[in-house]
Amino acid sequence: MLEVRFDDPERLLKQHSFYFLQLSLEGNIRHFLSRLVSKRFLTIN
């Protein structure tokens, strides 16, 4: 569980935005890699 404290909302917001940014980046990279791989396989076949 994440420990949520509201004594420092700015720090909390920064942590969460960084976490979501990391998630979106990871998702985009995976999506890009899967597209790249599928394109390679399509060109090979």
Does position 1 have pLDDT exceeding 60, yes or no? no
Q: CA-based Rg of the chain, rounded to a whole angstrom?
A: 18
CB 23 within 8 A of CB 16: no
How far is it, in rounded angstroms, from Cα 30 to Cα 21? 14
CB 12 within 8 A of CB 6: yes
Interval 24-41: pLDDT, tens:
889 888 998 898 888 877
> How does the average pLDDT of the chain come out, rounded?
78
Does position 45 have pLDDT exceeding 60, yes or no? no
For residue 18, the model assigns a pLDDT of: 82
Closest CA to 16 of 7, 4, 27: 4
